[in-house]
Amino acid sequence: MLQIAAIDRNGNERSIEAPPGITLMEAIRNEGMDELLAQCGGCCSCATCHVFIEQSGEGVIPQMSDDENDLLDSSDHRKPQSRLSCQIRLTPEMSGLRVAIAPED
Ligand code: FES
């Protein structure tokens, strides 16, 4: 299991345990953090799973695709550390990852 820290929009941090192989979005949603809407269910078409990577853990997070990049451009809250959490599949090396849920667009 990986250890992940997720920070909600009120600044409350929650510790999450997640198995490798699921996406970061699924890990956050499984924890009941419903403010991460993930409306498209992980199809890279809604951008409501937007997070900021505060700390990447020891593992390298894969580069974003052109589709993810284009979709993030539609957000008013995009920052250099922005990612769509449905596009990050967890690997054991990502343990220690710390993310914050981005403001709603
Ligand atoms: S859940 Fe829709 S883009 Fe990630």
Which pLDDT value is given to residue 60? 83
Residue 22 maps to which CATH number?
3.10.20.30
The per-residue pLDDT for 37 is: 97
For 35, the domain range is: 2-101
How confident is the model at residue 41, as a pLDDT?
A: 97
pLDDT at 12: 97
What is residue 54's predicted lDDT score, i.e. its pLDDT? 95
pLDDT per position in the chain (105 positions), as tens? 999 999 999 999 999 999 999 999 999 999 999 999 999 999 999 999 999 999 987 778 999 999 999 999 999 999 999 999 999 999 999 999 999 999 999
3-state secondary structure the chain: CEEEEEECCCCCEEEEEECCCCEHHHHHHHCCCCCCCCCCCCCCCCCCCEEEEEEECCCCCCCCCHHHHHHHCCCCCCCCCEEEHHHCECCHHHCCEEEEECCCC
Ligand 1 atom closest to the CA of 86, numbered from 1: 4
The one-letter amino acid code at 10 reads: N
- Specify the number of domains making up the chain: 1
**pLDDT on residue 56:** 87
Report the separation in Å between the CA atom of 47 and the middle of ligand 1, taken as the mean of its atom positions.
Answer: 5
CA–centroid distance, 59 to ligand 1, in Å, is 22
Mutate to test the pocket of ligand 1, among 23, 33, 48, 73 (most ligand atoms within 8 A of CB): 48
Q: Ligand 1 — pocket residues by CB below 6 A?
A: 25, 38-40, 42-49, 84, 86
Measured CA to CA, the distance from residue 66 to residue 72 in angstroms comes to 10
